[in-house]
Amino acid sequence: MASSPPQTLLLLLVGLTTVFFFFFISASADPDMLQDLCVADLSSGIKINGFPCKDAATVTSADFFSQGIANPGLTNNTFGALVTGANVMTIPGLNTLGVSLARIDYAPGGLNPPHTHPRATEVVFVLEGTLDVGFLTTANKLISQSLKKGDVFAFPKGLVHFQKNNGRVPASVISAFNSQLPGTQSLGATLFGSTPPVPDNILAQAFQTSSGTVKHIKSKFQPKK
């Protein structure tokens, strides 16, 4: 017996809702937790997607605590900026919780160079100073904004983005991520400082330049001796 139009519409809506529900679950940044807590056993040799749980009997408050981003980081480096993570590697209790933080400090003129977080969206809150920030869409559109103390800005998951302190005083932000370990790929270091190196002719053709120029750029990304 054929379904009536209202029944057909209801079945269609139920089907679409079910597909959307399972798609939403599968698209979340990190897998959902299956117990109250799963403090990461960072010393375990077992390799899984995430980290194995340490024995619950040995869990303490220290596994969920950190003072690592309480104070400004040193910015006397090449880019004049420093990222200090508060993720599962420093707070083992974040394992399976799907969240993490970072603090980024910028000297005057400091730059957090173009990079991506392949596993997370990032939201920054400006603690001090001013910043010029932006991200690039897959249509090569630049979305940019000037930020001041108290402002919030979001960088979508996986998109290339940057932050620059064009001010005359230091700046700092707190970054929040929807992943326990968002990962970072800095474009310059990834392309010109990888091991083994990307062949010079590949980069020369990709950037429409000479192999000599590529070698010069690569020399800037070699480990300092």
pLDDT tens-digit map of 53-85: 999 999 999 999 999 999 999 999 999 999 999
Residues 175, 68 share a domain? yes
Residues forming beta bridges with residue 116, ordered by sequence position: 185
Q: Is 112 annotated as a binding residue?
A: yes
Q: What is the pLDDT of residues 139-152, one digit of tens each?
A: 999 999 999 999 99
For the stretch 220-223, contacts whose Cβ atoms lie closer than 8 Å and that sit 24 or more positions apart, written own/partner, are 220/192, 221/188, 221/189, 221/192, 221/193, 222/193
Residues 213, 128 share a domain? no
Residues 72, 161 share a domain? yes
Residues 124, 202 share a domain? no
- Establish if 8 belongs to a structural domain: no
- Establish if 213 belongs to a structural domain: yes
Residues 172, 194 share a domain? no
> How many domains in the chain?
2
Contact present, 121 and 182 (Cβ < 8 Å): no
- Establish if 18 belongs to a structural domain: no
Q: Is 115 annotated as a binding residue?
A: yes
- pLDDT on residue 48: 86
Residue 211 belongs to domain spanning? 190-220
- Establish if 6 belongs to a structural domain: no
Residues 177, 109 share a domain? yes
Average pLDDT per block of 10 residues along the chain, 225 residues long:
60 57 53 86 89 95 97 96 98 96 98 98 97 98 98 98 98 97 96 96 97 96 76
Instruction: Indicate the DSSP class of residue 97.
Output: T
Q: How far apart are CA 145 and CA 169, in angstroms?
A: 19
- Establish if 17 belongs to a structural domain: no
Q: Cα–chain-centroid distance for residue 67?
A: 20
CATH of the domain at 64: 2.60.120.10
Q: Is 128 annotated as a binding residue?
A: no
Q: Is 161 annotated as a binding residue?
A: yes
pTM for the full model?
Answer: 0.84
Neighbours of 222 (CB within 10 A): 10
Residues 173, 70 share a domain? yes
- Establish if 82 belongs to a structural domain: yes
